[in-house]
Amino acid sequence: IGVMSHITINSDEETEFNGEEDPLICWAISSLNRQERVEIRKSDFLRLEYGKFLNDNLLEFSFYTMLEDASGQSLRKLELFSTQFYTQLTRVPGKMTRTLLKMSESEKQHNNVKAWTKNKNIFEKKIHLYPINEDRRHWYLILVRLPEFRQEGYVAVLDSMGGHGTKDFAVEN
């Protein structure tokens, strides 16, 4: 099982930045019966300048381009979650219904993302990658290695800046 990707580049240099500009790069990946698409816009490219913060499009583009070089066997063991997954997981519901009031915190969190994992068994995958954005400024990655026969599982926080604050909360949840 391999990875197929398709990149389309819009060479229109007159593209204006208005928040809704056409994508400069449309990148699609197909692997393991999964379709992903990332669009990189001029506003995303501007975030590559020194002192600017990366956004979810740039991060997902980087992850998927790295996956292009992975073998099919490696991909079968890996679950890369969306950059929006953790935000959705920890979202506080706007309206508290009677059903939500009866739920524990972990049940509420599961309720927030159950549609995202509805048609797949994520526990078949041995490595889970969760990109997390802290305060809309800093990204780090949580790697979860599920236990296998004769191998212990573990959680690793990959943070180029050492980190502080929400990582303990993220790992606990």
pLDDT in the model for residue 7 = 46
DSSP E strand boundaries for the chain: 4-9, 25-31, 34-40, 78-80, 127-134, 138-145, 154-158
SS3 15: coil
Contact 83, 60 (CB under 8 A): yes
Give the whole-angstrom CA distance, residue 48 versus residue 52.
6
pLDDT in the model for residue 144 = 93
Q: Give the pLDDT confidence of 86-117 residue by residue, as tens digits.
A: 989 988 878 888 888 899 999 999 989 999 88
Q: Give the pLDDT confidence of 30-65 residue by residue, as tens digits.
A: 554 456 677 788 888 888 888 888 888 888 888 877
Q: Give the pLDDT confidence of 3-26 residue by residue, as tens digits.
A: 444 445 454 444 444 445 666 777
pLDDT in the model for residue 145 = 92
Give the whole-angstrom CA distance, residue 111 versus residue 105.
10
pLDDT in the model for residue 32 = 45
Q: How confident is the model at residue 172 (pLDDT cuts 50, 70, 90)?
A: low
Q: Give the pLDDT confidence of 112-162 residue by residue, as tens digits.
A: 999 988 888 888 889 999 999 887 778 899 999 999 888 899 998 888 777
